[in-house]
Chain A
Amino acid sequence: MGKITIDPVTRIEGHLKVEVVVDGGKVKEARSSGMLFRGLELILRGRDPRDAQRITQRICGVCPTVHSTVAALNLDSALGIGDKIPDNGRVIRNLILGAAHVADHILHFYHLAALDYVDVARLAKYEGNNPALNSIRNFIARGELGPFVPRYEGDYRLPDPVNEQAVAHYVAAFDMRRKGQEMLAIFGGKVPHNMAIMPGGVASVPTVDNMTSFLWRLKALQEFVDNVYLPDVLAVANVYSDYFEIGYGCGDLLTYGSYELDGKEADLTKRKRFFRPGTTSTDLKFRELDPAKITEEVRHSWYADSISGRHPSQGDVVLDEGKRGAYSWLKSPRYGGMVFEVGPLAQMMVNYADGNHKVRNLVDSTLSQLSLKPKALFSVMGRHLCRALQTKFVVDAMVDWVLQLKPGEPAYISYELPRQATGMGLADGPRGGLGHWVEIKEGRIANYQVITPSTWNMSPRDDKDQPGPLEQAMIGTKIRNEANPFEVVRIVRSFDPCLACSIHLLSPKGHDLGKLRVC
């Protein structure tokens, strides 16, 4: 029996450590642990509620935009203006989030995930005339290979021409994701940490020139998604088709939905969204989402059992550092007491189950190219594929949205700050469902709770000892070479973990906090 420790796991956001116990060539036990605690929920208490929107987006520099969006939805609801956001404000918020979504998925596939499949070192013998590839060959020839080595060695299977093209696209994708960020900044001011989204709408106003400028950057991205990103994911999926059978996960999927299509409905859960909220499972039956069923359990986390099982609106942080059986600072979010995975796979399959025609057509036609059934998407490669398909939906929809803007009309409304109020904001970002909850007392933040997508996906065992989605995805996996555990890092990265987001995290290894010894 061997133990594999990977610390740090790179090409993700934040500080993650993974430990798996391998028995008979298979993962018997798996634990994922975050390594950083900043206590942002504690920093928020006592502050002006409006500042939460600025502070919470700084939870994460990779997905700040969805935090800024969900924080604004949360505060809109607390301020009682959820049904009063002007259409321009609603649409610009969608465009800002959409731009982030597209740029982020391109970044994830090419720059965070691809180096597990694509062999940059093989470009040392490149003889063609692509300038980008020649500059990589020259780079390799100089002999200083950071940051591309060291790496796991062995399982790089792409044939030379596909591999070369993938490296060229790795370089091109840097420019494309940057273009997505520039598109975001047209309305968002700057990024990371856009400045336009705020409770009440957005600060920016639409003009014909920024609409046109947005549209043409969008068109370039649309071409890239259709002609490069989707074909590349399919090419990798064809060669690594065994990864449709690796990393299954928990089988239950949840999405909050995203992109508001209706500005006149005060109740967030009834508001019409481009991607509908809901849950599904391997039965592919659609079920309505009921946010009241969300709880956070802490039996295996360093928190007092007295706060276990609470709805996040009643959430708290009561430490119990020496607790027996605890091994993480991550709480375990559960839905009706069950383990749920969030992310692009969940959003696509829930909307597939709901009978969304466009989603069904695109998913079915893609699966038929690969001769696969929908259940194959519950896998490492399925997550990558769903991420790419979701990108296509968002990029195509934005072409319509940008033309809905009306220069000269407002994008923001004023409001009064209440003395007492509660709020909830829910939406899916690039990594899945994000929830913010606020309680305002005496005009100040009394409590602010955040449940991030990575908290769902990387959560530890819960009160019923059910392992979290990532842990379940790793358990049972065959490890071919323990010195180069490709399977483990490929499973982890298929979830696109974002650890800075997972606020409660601290330390792993089953040590209790008081005994964690550090250099």
Chain B
Amino acid sequence: MATKEYPAIWLQAAGCTGCSVSLLNAVNPSIKNILVDEVLPGSHINLRFHPTVMAGAGAPIIEVMVDTSRKKKKGYILIVEGAIPTAREGIYGVFGEREGKPTTMQSWVETLAKDALAVMALGTCAAFGGIPAANPNPTGCRSVGGILEGKGINTPLVNIPGCPPHPEWFVGTVASVLLWGLPRAEDLDEHRRPKAFYGQTIHENCPRRAYYDENKFAKKFGDPGCNYELGCRGPITHADCPVRLWNDRVNWCVGCGATCIGCTEPGFFDIAPLYEKLSESALPEEV
């Protein structure tokens, strides 16, 4: 059986490359499997453009990107890592040249999203603005969804937030598209996150939940007890970290004694100081 190639373009905008590094930490499949092998029988992700991984540099690789969008119209996946600077016509983020002119990330996202089969906003910066969009948002950063909406681009969009996102949230979403096609509306939550990974809160699955229910709270880091009074955002944060675990399942944020800092949610870093107890009014009703 011939292998079906799925071309993909991975753009890095106003981010830190942490989402890419997180993907390098994928275990089964490994990054080698993802780059080289059939990620599912008969399907190969043809990652044509990825700034941290690819061999080439300069104009020839920009050509690859533009060429893919022209020749594979509605046949490639656009993955965006990082928020999109929009202040001052986007000049705070410039990447490569088009017709001899430095080109903004905003312009690349608009061009490439229009002709893509689907767009994946990977990481909290791409999905919701994240760190660079935190108050006072000096560069006018917006989410990928915000950019698409602003231009009336209706290419299907999936948000995979997290700072960084777990590699399995990305790989799992890709696998589900290859197996069953684009996600249906009911597969995504109100923030366009796949319910398969973001359907429950941290709090619902936290191994320290019993402490919370019994009102036993840690007063400082390293103590036994629920970390709610140390600022934990578990009750308002949607992700499956407590059951999935990180880095080949060796640990996770609360597992190492820290708090959940709410990295998969809109408003990450602007909700409240991270080491202060969440106000009661911020808690969802079911808690």
Contact = CB atoms under 8 A, between A and B. Distances in A.
Interface of A: 5-15, 35-40, 42-43, 47-48, 50-51, 54-55, 58-62, 64, 107, 111-112, 115, 120, 132, 135-136, 139, 142, 144, 146-152, 171, 174-175, 177-178, 181-182, 184-196, 198, 200-205, 213, 410-412, 414, 489, 500, 506-507, 509, 513, 516-519
B256 A518 contact: no
A8 B97 CA distance: 9
A147 B54 contact: yes
Contact of B19 (A12, A61, A139, A174): A61
A461 B93 CA distance: 23
A411 B17 contact: no
A55 B131 contact: yes
A177 B24 contact: yes
Contacts of A10: 51-52, 54-57, 61
B276 interface: yes
Contacts of B163: 58, 193
B75 interface: no
B96 to A, nearest CB: 6
B9 to A, nearest CB: 9
A518 B102 contact: yes
Contacts of A9: 57-58
B54 A148 contact: yes
Interface in B241-263: 246-248, 250-259, 261, 263
A500 B22 CA distance: 16
10 closest A-B pairs by CB: A61-B18, A189-B256, A39-B138, A146-B48, A203-B257, A48-B273, A185-B247, A147-B54, A190-B246, A151-B55
Contacts of B252: 189-190
B253 A190 contact: yes
Given A8-B57, A8-B96, A58 B251 contact: no
B133 to A, nearest CB: 9
Contacts of B250: 182, 185-186, 213
B96 A174 contact: no
Interface stretch (B84-92, B149-157, B204-212): B84-92
A274 to B, nearest CB: 24
B35 A191 contact: no
Given A178-B25, A193-B164, 13 more contacts: A11-B51, A35-B102, A36-B85, A132-B32, A139-B36, A178-B31, A188-B251, A189-B254, A190-B252, A191-B247, A196-B256, A203-B221, A519-B98
A182 B51 contact: no
Contacts of B269: 51, 54-55
A513 B252 CA distance: 43
Interface string B45-64: 01111111111111111111
23 contacts: A6-B57, A15-B12, A15-B51, A36-B14, A37-B85, A39-B139, A54-B269, A111-B53, A136-B36, A142-B5, A150-B63, A178-B24, A185-B251, A187-B256, A189-B254, A191-B25, A195-B256, A195-B259, A203-B221, A213-B250, A412-B221, A414-B220, A518-B107
Contacts of B36: 135-136, 139
B234 interface: no
A139 B33 CA distance: 11
Task: Indicate the member of B132, B136, B222 with the most A CB atoms within 10 Å.
Answer: B222
Q: Which of B22, B251, B261 has the most CB of A within 10 A?
A: B251
B265 to A, nearest CB: 14
Contact of A190 (B14, B53, B56, B247): B247
A47 B62 CA distance: 39
A148 B48 CA distance: 8
B16 A61 contact: yes
A147 B222 contact: no
Nearest to A516: B91
Nearest to A493: B57
A58 to B, nearest CB: 5
B30 A200 contact: no
B257 to A, nearest CB: 4
B22 A192 contact: yes
Contacts of A47: 273
B90 A518 contact: yes
Interface residues of B, number: 93
B16 A500 contact: yes
B114 interface: no
A419 to B, nearest CB: 16
Nearest to B12: A15
B16 A43 contact: no
A135 B37 CA distance: 7
B15 interface: yes
Interface in B69-109: 85, 89-99, 101-104, 107
Given A40-B131, A150-B61, A203 B56 contact: no
Nearest to A89: B222
B274 interface: yes
Given A15-B12, A139-B37, A43 B24 contact: no
A189 B253 contact: yes
A198 B258 contact: yes
A58 B131 contact: yes
B274 A50 contact: yes
Nearest to A505: B92
A51 B136 contact: no
A489 B58 CA distance: 10
A286 B87 CA distance: 47
Contacts of A507: 91, 94, 102
B48 to A, nearest CB: 4
Contacts of B171: none
Contact of B16 (A42, A59, A190, A202): A59
Contact of A150 (B55, B221, B253): B55
B27 to A, nearest CB: 7
A60 B16 contact: yes
A421 to B, nearest CB: 16
Given A178-B25, A519-B107, A189 B220 contact: no
B25 A500 contact: no
Contacts of B257: 189, 196, 202-205
Given A40-B131, A196-B258, A147 B50 contact: yes
Contacts of B15: 61, 500
B45 to A, nearest CB: 10
Contact of B251 (A8, A12, A14, A186): A186
B93 A11 contact: no
A204 B252 CA distance: 11
Interface string B114-147: 0000000000000000011011111101000000
A102 to B, nearest CB: 15
B264 interface: no
Contacts of B275: 48, 50-51
A54 B130 CA distance: 13
Contacts of A43: 131-132, 134-138
